[in-house]
Amino acid sequence: MRKIRSKLLCGVLLLVSVPVTGGPVLVLKGSNTGPFKEALSGFRQAYSAGFEIEQGKSKEFAAHVQADHPSLIVAIGRTSAEMAHQRSSGIPILYIMVPNPVELGLTGSNVAGISMSVPGNVQLARFKELLPNPKKPVAIIFNPATGASIAAEAQNAAAGLDLVLEQVPVESPEQVRLRIALVKPIIGAIWVVPDESFATKERENKWFTYLLSEAIKLHLPFFVTMNAGSTFVREGALAAVVSDFMGMGRQCGELVKQIEAGKSKVESIGLRPPEAIGWEVNLNTAEKIGLAIPEAVLRSAKTYH
């Protein structure tokens, strides 16, 4: 009788120690371009279970949701995240590779994700490594409607980094030339936080070409905040601190394992910053302004010549 009770007790302990996860994890893949492939590869390095559905296959997605009752949807990219949010019937969602998720309405107690944006304080701390004259202010050009949070994060960190931040708010790319002229005599670097209008109207308004020529003429570092697909550093900006897409995928996979193990819940994750970040550096621009890039930066940098 004691042996039977002992076996029953062990069985009960085993049952309560295994988390109840419900159905499988459904992975809505992103596009087949490089950054999204890297994110999926990183995710699979950390988490190999679940099943995948190609981006945009809404009928297949709906059929799997109805038949398999997934416990969690991992959405890679904006298209996948929006489809999951609109058609998931309350199933928890964890997304990656989605720019500006709050503006897209990807919020709620059952929605969480990893931001593509490197926090402003982290960017500023990294940029300090490339400042030839840290005593001069860093001019941060941003649209208050879209870049205020990054500017505020950087501003709050500036004093602790022994740096001065000169805020240059602009409402459109057309205002860049006028606003930067007002602070140009006192600054030691330029940092732009572009929104979509900056990216889509770059050639039309010449803001990028103008700032690049001014930065080179004055021997100033020219930093840019970038998202997936941005090519500002390749086109001549000195440097950007960027998310590591494969690392972002691994971070997502680790979160899924924590959720399945009962160590975390989607509602407690919220929107998290990327943990893995690196550099993009234009060595040709560095040479033009006479700046030697530290070896520590080059070790984690994607470089352009």
pLDDT value, residue 186: 97
Output 62-69 pairs: Cβ under 8 A, ≥24 positions apart. 62/87, 64/26, 65/26, 65/89, 65/91, 68/23, 68/24, 68/26, 69/22, 69/23
With a pLDDT cut of 70, the percent of the chain lying above it is 90
Q: What is the pLDDT of residues 164-222, one digit of tens each?
A: 999 999 998 889 999 999 999 999 999 999 887 776 544 455 889 999 999 999 999 99
Segment 69-86 mean pLDDT? 95
8 pLDDT exceeds 60? no
What is the CA 129 to chain-centroid distance, rounded? 21
Q: What is the CATH number of the domain that holds 128?
A: 3.40.50.2300
One domain, residues 167 and 256: no
pLDDT value, residue 200: 55
pLDDT value, residue 103: 83
Half-sphere exposure of 283 (CA within 13 A, CB side): 10
One domain, residues 163 and 288: yes
Q: How confident is the model at residue 304 (pLDDT cuts 50, 70, 90)?
A: very high
> Cβ distance 54 to 257 under 8 Å?
no
**177 vs 142: CA distance, rounded Å:** 13
One domain, residues 263 and 129: no
Its pTM stands at 0.81
Cβ burial 114-140 (10 Å sphere, 16+ → b, else e): bbbbbbbbbbbbbbeebbeebebbbbb
- Containing structural domain, residue 201: 120-243+278-304
With a pLDDT cut of 90, the percent of the chain lying above it is 74
One domain, residues 77 and 129: no
One domain, residues 91 and 137: no
Least confident of 133-137, 152-156, 192-196: 192-196
224 pLDDT exceeds 60? yes
Q: How confident is the model at residue 227 (pLDDT cuts 50, 70, 90)?
A: confident
**216 vs 222: CA distance, rounded Å:** 8
For residue 152, CA distances in Å to 102, 169, 172, 184 come to: 17, 12, 19, 21
pLDDT value, residue 228: 65
In DSSP terms, which residues pair with 184 in a beta bridge?
none
Q: How confident is the model at residue 89 (pLDDT cuts 50, 70, 90)?
A: confident
pLDDT value, residue 18: 32
One domain, residues 268 and 219: no
In a domain, 7, yes or no: no
**65 vs 24: CA distance, rounded Å:** 10
Is the four-CA dihedral 280, 282, 285, 287 of positive or negative sign? Answer: positive
46 pLDDT exceeds 90? yes
Q: What is the dihedral of CA 126, 219, 213, 235, to 10 degrees?
A: -40
From the number of C-beta atoms within 10 Å of its C-beta (0-12, 13-18, 19+), residue 256 rates as buried
pLDDT value, residue 285: 98
In a domain, 99, yes or no: yes
> In whole numbers, what is the pLDDT of the chain averaged over residues?
89
59 pLDDT exceeds 80? yes
pLDDT value, residue 4: 41
pLDDT value, residue 10: 40
One domain, residues 201 and 266: no
Q: What is the pLDDT of residues 245-302, one digit of tens each?
A: 999 999 999 999 999 999 999 999 999 999 999 999 999 999 999 999 999 999 989 9
Segment 157-163 mean pLDDT? 98
**Number of domains, the chain:** 2
One domain, residues 299 and 190: yes
One domain, residues 156 and 233: yes
One domain, residues 185 and 253: no
